[in-house]
Structure 1
Amino acid sequence: MPDVPKWRHFLRFWRADVDADIDDELRFHFEQRIEDLRARGHSAQDATRIAHEEFGDEAATRRGLREIGERVERRRERMRWWRQLLADLRYVLRGLRRTPTFTAGVVLTLAIGIGAAASMYGTMRRLLLEPPPHVAAADRVARPYFHYERAGDSARTFDQLSYPFYERVRTEARTLAGVAAYSPGNSLTVGVGADARMVHATFVSAGFWRTLGTRPALGRFIADDEAHPATGARVVVLGHAFWQRRFGGDPAVVGTTLHVKGLPYRVVGVAPRGFRGVDLTDTDVWLPLFTEADGQGRPATWHTFASSSNLKFVVRPRPDVPPARVAAELSRLQKLLVEEEDRTFPSQYRSHFRTHVSLGPLTGAAGFDGRRIPEATVAAWLVGVAGVLLAIACANVASLLLLRALRRRREIAVRLALGMSRRRLAALLFVESAALALSGGVAAAMVIAVGGAWVRRVLLPGMIAESAGVDWHTVALFAGTVVAAAVLTGLVPVLQTRRDVAAGLRDGAQHGATRRSSLYRGLLVSQSALSAVLLVGAGLFVRSLHRVTTMDLGLDPDHSFVVRIDFTGTGRPGPDVMAFHERALERLRAVPGVRSASVSVSAPLRTAQGGSFRLQPAGEVLSTSKGVPFVNYVSDGFFDASGMRIASGRGFLPADRGGAPVVVVNEALARVAWPGRSPLGECVYPTWAPDACARVVGVVRNAHTFQIREDQRLWLYVPLDPTDVGDRVLLVRAAPGARGMERTVERVLRELDPGLPYVDVHRLGDALDPQIRPWRIGAAVFTAFGALAALLAALGLYAAVAYAVAQRTREIGVRIALGAARPAVARLVVGDGLRIAAVGVGMGLVLALVGARWVADLLFDTSPREPTVIAAVAVSLLGVAAAASLVPARRATRVNPTEALRAD
């Protein structure tokens, strides 16, 4: 063979394209090589042998050449495909650049739809599906739930029990590899003086981090002996975000001192980023369970009470033990604890509960009763709502692309007539939709970042931790959504290209293609229908939010403020603290804008304590099926300061503090204790002074104790003795229109005593905000999505009507030339738009009514078929449709018949 590169010979063989040609070429060069070798002096036998060695087996050579040819062909095919794709992309980008309004509208629409869907999915996943961060083998860790059932009473479930139960489980359980108790959601002060701040704290028992399998980011965690009741060591572990915020991420913080509630604590470590235990609440500092002390620094003794229910638990079963066996063992230990506690009471006061324990996972956003919290349920619904918005966005984009294809109908027909295959045309249209979808995806990434931050900080504050890494599930959903949007939006105009080529050449862009496109009308109807569904949901949640925020709570949540000052660790004796509260009370009452002020032991909507009272000196302690009444010790002015209303009698007077014993009861207690008669003048006997008659001087209307939804609780109010030593809170009620009361109260108190620790001033209704949050989330997101959906539907309808007017220019000109009044032409155009909207709205309202029963549990005192909401949605969407049709209708009335007929 000549000394020519083999690939060049191969190209000649490959261009032959058939095996016969390859064989002929191969035989020719084989014979030529033999002749060349003989000319150089080789014998015929040696020349043939050498040629065979160089060429090898002819069949193998032929197969090798064929395989190489196929590879080259595939490579050339790929190159042709890429060149074709790049050419299509350049063509599409030039076209999109020539129509910036259309391009921006499509990209923004896709960004809203894709961004909303991905943001809501990420929120739902972090609430419901993701295990707590930094918990090793989280599927092997469980929460115990304690169930109580008694004959004639409803069953109850709680996730809290006592420290003695923890000790019993820790020492006696054989099915567990680890158990821990903890108390989350505590608010306390850190720092001193002006640097003092209120933070969220969690108290943990021995073995907490070991049970969770968590490792510190810095330093170490609290040791077992430091969390023992006999030790109560003053050590603290910082939350990662608190460490970054307060200390700037300084690693030298380990070993320093942090003042907690005025007492010095040694920082021993920093928790890993994003770690928040197993609850949906942020934690700034982690403390040993038994460092919580009274106001004089003495260790707390609550851990000795078996009947207390103030600790949550987390357990890690042994690898070879099934959960049912663990639950059975915990049920046995709980039963033993209840029986031992019952034996300390007389038989008539025993609980007679049937109890058992169940285990729940760490995921699922479960509340204290093991059921999903309302925020998580609403978040799951919002994923579906975001999906609906995404469907509306895709329908809108598909309709716009279809409209674009209809406008290019003659061009498409010419392309097909000149030989372009439908497959090639479909590829071109898909490239256009893919380019728009990718651009929308890039913009959606910004929507996800902004929307995710808004959800975390505004709608679900403190419930979703900042992710320590990339959420690949959300990324996968995002990518899949972009691809699906590209396919779905590109499929619609592709289907339109299946129309007859001759019809396209004949009709072109001059005869109402849009009117004959049932697919286009279907997209517009679907947008209106889905918009109606979202707006009905928005209306129901807005109605619920309005009712829950305007309901009568029996007090004033908006203008009353709770003032707390934690004197723990300041070294002030109890009488000095009480004297300060009395001075503060008088000073606050003199502040302009303050309507009333009072001091009490318990803060409404925040804390409550039970009291033991009798109606007869030798009678039984007053008790109902719901337990003993709550009691609060208050000063004069308490009912006005909290916004409670006196139903009969009077409130407390200054002389009642330290005078003859008197009490005020609420209406619920009055009905139970003195049914059918007025309680005024009746006696109540406290158990600590069984012969002392405290006369009822007033009846106050019922007020909510802790919950938005709750049964009426029994309350009794007693005058606060100014010499009693104990916890105090101040209540301040501002006059209507007063502004900045929180800052004013803090400034006044610091002027009164510059050495005060942190002064915590909060609106009374702030305690209810977490309960109102589900309706606020639903109202905000449904309203935002519904408004966006209505806007997209209006834009789609406007584009359709405007295009129809442009296509029917000749028809409108003929009508006007024949004497049609211009208002009649306007009604004709608006009527077309209203008919499409009416069909869509009707279908949407039917869908909303069918699905109403699924959202009934999420509403507050609102029917899911609220007629005013349905009517308002129908009127609003039809009004939007009419407004979207008015501009094209006005344009139609200005058509010049002469010019329209000449143009045709």
Structure 2
Amino acid sequence: MGALLQDLRYATRTLLRAPGFTAVAVATLALGIGANAAIFSLVDSVLIKPLPYRDPSRLVIAWDSYLPQDSFVPAFPKIGVSPRELDLWQSQNDIFQDTAWYRYVPSEFSLIPPHSGALSVRGDFFSTDFLRVMGVAPVLGRAFADHEPPNSVLLSEHIWRTGFASDPGIVGKTIRLNDDGFTVIGVMAADFKFPDWADVWLPPGPLIGDELTNPVRHAAGFIGRLNRGVTMQQAETRLTALSSRLVADNPKTSTGWGMRVSALQDDLTANIRSALLMLFGAVALVLLTACSNVANLMLARANGRSREIATRGALGAGAWRLTRQLLTESVLLAVLGGAAGLGFAELGLRLLSPVETQLDLRVVAYLLTISLATGLIFGLAPILQALRGDTNVILKATSVTRGASGMPSALVVAEFALAMVLIAAAAILVNGFVRLVHVNPGFNPRGLLTMRIAFPRSRKPDILFRGIEQRVKQIPGVDRFASINVLPLNPDHGNAGRFNVPGNPLINPDSLPAAQLRLVSPDYFAAMRIPIESGRAFEERDLTQPVVIVNRTMANRFWPGKNAVGEKFITGPWGTNPTWSTIIGVAGDVKQFGLDAESSLDEYFPSLFPATILIHTSGHPESLIAPVYAAIQAIDPELPVSEIRTMDQLVDDSAASRRWTMTLLASFATLAMVLALIGIYGVLSWSVTRRTKEIGIRVALGASSREVTREILVQGIRLSALGLAIGVVSALALSRFWASRVFEVTAADPLIYSGAAAVMFAVALAACYLPARRAGRVDPLTALRWE
């Protein structure tokens, strides 16, 4: 211990005597380690840390997926299971210890709590044994009983806190949801967010309709707790076989449906998993670049201390003693960089994290680990150089005239290769993002304000809607007023219904196609500026007529080569008296599920009940928020208004995930590039400094300034070109890791790779030119007197 303290004191004094070197090295490491710690914190919170449920590794979730035989029918990736599947799967006791279900689509409710204004809350229904299967319990009250009355409700911690002022006596009280009384039986913990949008939870009852009995409904998410020793693959094999049996027994309702099983944690993190892993790989490359940079700094400094190290060796210090001292210095530097990196990580998480996370002890332990590992990595280079040196030669030498050694050059090549991989990945993502934001969504978002209103059925929503419409239209600047049940660009909320075109050879009667159902008011297409390509838009008289507007994709597929206007087809219900709807118009395609999604089959029906209203203005839509809200409150002060935003914001939000990934990756790539440029600048500057006497002699013997400049420049060009070549090859080999985040761009696009390499090469030339120019200006007399 005494020797270690002695080494630490000596290392501290040594670093303090070189404040410039220490500051640059610590800053470089802080950026690399801090970026790593920040991304690891996200990875740990989302992907590694177990879910807050009992034994979460045994929880699995199963979904149906529509697998149409015809590619024109949209294949929805996540659909609830049917009642037949639910009953059959729940009986598999040799596979599942327990099973439960929940409704994966929210129900909108109006809630008027005593401590705030009217709220629009999202409710979820789940089986009475759901909380027991998950292994959680309310923090207040109790869970649902086996035969729970349908007017019972569980509150989320957020609603309990904001709407009821954390009332400890809330259990047993009656609250009103959509004007109906519900008894509060419990409050869930703050970390229980399943599904993540739920504000209240209700037991099965009349409000859920026929979703648990109608064989064509697919509304339930299936949760199972595996028996010990049963694997997820075994569960999937069993459920797949059962689903195939259902298809054989019930072809009319089960043909075309498949299913998939996944671990619950994998399912909940599927949307962000690939992005986090890609970013984690990116920051690892940034850290390696930073290590290479600091290693070169250490090499340069060790070269300047070669006489000191040789002297200590000559006085009896052995190889292990010298190694321990140099390692102590490098590890001390890394720890200082890690401490500073902790601040960078905290700042980065506050500014950029898409989820709630914090730097806990696991993250601090990780940061300490990578700090120590980093110190060992970049500390090896100067140790190897010091141990290779001949003590007698070093002590007798008065100057060093050799060029840069192979190790600094190799480190620069590595830096350029690592930076090129990141620059190529960032260029691919940026190119894809630019293409994404220029996609035509099928409507014009300019001047549109949107908001959700929860219309209780007991208050005659059509009359309320008419009253709000009349008042809002009187507001100066309002051009159009419309409504819809589900806004476009919503990847998490589909509303599909099957249809049939009897006699159409394109339709398999045993596997009817599904279309997205959109309920809209007559002015919807005009407000959204969605073109009506043939026929007409809805009018007031259509509200009581069986009419429908279909989109271009649906019209072209089922009525190819002719005008679909006037055609009739069955839109439901599927009984003895089905509803036939007449097409009165064909609308342009709209991106219902996101800018990067394919066009779906869309059916629009006239309605005044939809809960999302749209107001179009020729001015700034934000200016209408206050007067529109006042108009709604004037009609009914108990109507909850939520999700107020402009359509431009909605379009921006639809690309938020890709924008976040792109921004971070581009930032990391830029950091790696800057570090690589600093690295090559430092190596060439070091080379020029070491060779000052040699250059002076050559100039004195007739070498021109241009020749000297060109030699140093060529040296830098060779190093950067080699690094870029290795980087391009490596990036191409790794391109599959970011291919899933790319939109309409080939992950191995040669133009993008060559462009990225050209930019890096051009910037590298600038970095090489400065030391090359300094070499060309060496004064022979000054150089010969240098020592």
Q: TM-score range by the shorter chain?
A: 0.7 to 0.9
User: Within 2, Cα distance between the matches of 1:212 and 1:391?
Assistant: 42
Please tell me whether the aligned partners of residues 604 and 764 of structure 1 are also in contact (alpha carbons under 8 angstroms). no
1:755 is displaced (CA, Å) by 4.8
Match of 1:186 among 85, 90, 106: 106
User: Within 2, Cα distance between the matches of 1:415 and 1:693?
Assistant: 94
Match of 1:350 in 2: 252
Match of 2:716 among 802, 813, 833: 833
Please tell me whether the aligned partners of residues 242 and 284 of structure 1 are also in contact (alpha carbons under 8 angstroms). no
Match of 1:675 in 2: 560
Match of 1:19 in 2: none
Q: Structure 2 vs 1, CA of residues 747 and 717 (structure 1 numbering), >3 Å: closer, same or farther?
A: same
1:280-337 per-position Cα deviation (integer Å, ceiling 9, x unaligned): x5356341233684xxxxx744433232111112122445877777667756776787
Return the letter of the residue paired with 1:554.
G
Return the letter of the residue paired with 2:554.
L
Matches within 5 A, 1:363-762: 363=265, 365-366=266-267, 373-454=270-351, 456=353, 458=354, 461=355, 466=357, 470=360, 472=362, 474-497=363-386, 498-507=388-397, 510-512=399-401, 515-557=403-445, 560-568=448-456, 571-584=458-471, 586-587=473-474, 591-592=476-477, 594=478, 596-606=480-490, 608=495, 610=497, 627-648=513-534, 650-652=536-538, 654=539, 657=542, 664-679=549-564, 694=582, 696=584, 698-720=585-607, 726-735=609-618, 739=622, 742=625, 745-747=628-630, 749-750=632-633, 754-762=637-645
User: Within 1, Cα distance between the matches of 2:380 and 2:579?
Assistant: 87
Return the letter of the residue paired with 2:203.
L
Return the letter of the residue paired with 2:370.
T
1:684 is displaced (CA, Å) by 6.8
Match of 1:288 in 2: 202
1:435 is displaced (CA, Å) by 0.7
User: Within 1, Cα distance between the matches of 2:508 and 2:70?
Assistant: 20
Matches within 5 A, 1:248-263: 251=168, 254-255=171-172, 260=177
Match of 2:188 among 243, 268, 271: 271
Please tell me whether the aligned partners of residues 560 and 643 of structure 1 are also in contact (alpha carbons under 8 angstroms). no
Match of 2:15 among 87, 96, 102: 96
Please tell me whether the aligned partners of residues 183 and 202 of structure 1 are also in contact (alpha carbons under 8 angstroms). yes
Q: Does residue 137 of structure 1 match 2:55?
A: yes
Q: Structure 2 vs 1, CA of residues 525 and 194 (structure 1 numbering), >3 Å: closer, same or farther?
A: same
1:645-665 per-position Cα deviation (integer Å, ceiling 9, x unaligned): 23345544x565569987544
Please tell me whether the aligned partners of residues 487 and 592 of structure 2 are also in contact (alpha carbons under 8 angstroms). no
User: Within 2, Cα distance between the matches of 1:179 and 1:185?
Assistant: 19
Match of 2:126 in 1: 204
User: Within 2, Cα distance between the matches of 1:812 and 1:685?
Assistant: 89
**What SS is found at the alignment partner of 2:193?**
coil
Please tell me whether the aligned partners of residues 41 and 357 of structure 2 are also in contact (alpha carbons under 8 angstroms). no
User: Within 2, Cα distance between the matches of 1:409 and 1:749?
Assistant: 80
User: Within 2, Cα distance between the matches of 1:815 and 1:705?
Assistant: 72
Q: Structure 2 vs 1, CA of residues 632 and 318 (structure 1 numbering), >3 Å: closer, same or farther?
A: closer
Q: Structure 2 vs 1, CA of residues 730 and 500 (structure 1 numbering), >3 Å: closer, same or farther?
A: same
**What SS is found at the alignment partner of 1:161?**
coil
1:876 is displaced (CA, Å) by 2.5
Please tell me whether the aligned partners of residues 611 and 631 of structure 1 are also in contact (alpha carbons under 8 angstroms). no
Q: Does residue 112 of structure 1 match 2:16?
A: no
TM-score normalised to structure 1 length: 0.75
RMSD: 4.1
Q: Does residue 311 of structure 1 match 2:311?
A: no
> Highest relative contact order (Cα 8 Å, sep 6+), 1 or 2?
2
1:404 is displaced (CA, Å) by 0.8
Please tell me whether the aligned partners of residues 622 and 628 of structure 1 are also in contact (alpha carbons under 8 angstroms). no
User: Number of aligned pairs?
Assistant: 776
**What SS is found at the alignment partner of 2:483?**
strand
Please tell me whether the aligned partners of residues 187 and 198 of structure 1 are also in contact (alpha carbons under 8 angstroms). no
Match of 1:862 in 2: 745
**What SS is found at the alignment partner of 1:419?**
coil
**What SS is found at the alignment partner of 2:526?**
helix
User: Within 2, Cα distance between the matches of 1:691 and 1:161?
Assistant: 25
Match of 1:238 in 2: 156
1:503 is displaced (CA, Å) by 2.9
User: Within 2, Cα distance between the matches of 1:693 and 1:381?
Assistant: 48
Please tell me whether the aligned partners of residues 37 and 342 of structure 2 are also in contact (alpha carbons under 8 angstroms). no
Match of 1:800 in 2: 683
1:442 is displaced (CA, Å) by 1.6
Q: Structure 2 vs 1, CA of residues 499 and 191 (structure 1 numbering), >3 Å: closer, same or farther?
A: farther
1:499 is displaced (CA, Å) by 1.5
**What SS is found at the alignment partner of 2:459?**
coil
User: Within 2, Cα distance between the matches of 1:243 and 1:695?
Assistant: 47
Match of 1:177 in 2: 97
**What SS is found at the alignment partner of 2:106?**
strand
Which structure 1 residue ranges, 5 or more long, are not aligned? Answer: 1-81, 294-298, 343-348
Return the letter of the residue paired with 2:588.
R
1:174-206 per-position Cα deviation (integer Å, ceiling 9, x unaligned): 764322111346374654596345556543211
Please tell me whether the aligned partners of residues 612 and 622 of structure 1 are also in contact (alpha carbons under 8 angstroms). no
Report sequence identity in percent.
28
1:437 is displaced (CA, Å) by 1.2
User: Within 1, Cα distance between the matches of 2:595 and 2:211?
Assistant: 29
Please tell me whether the aligned partners of residues 165 and 306 of structure 1 are also in contact (alpha carbons under 8 angstroms). no
Larger CA deviation: 202-211 vs 432-441: 202-211
Larger CA deviation: 324-333 vs 410-419: 324-333
User: Within 2, Cα distance between the matches of 1:738 and 1:222?
Assistant: 44
Match of 1:5 in 2: none
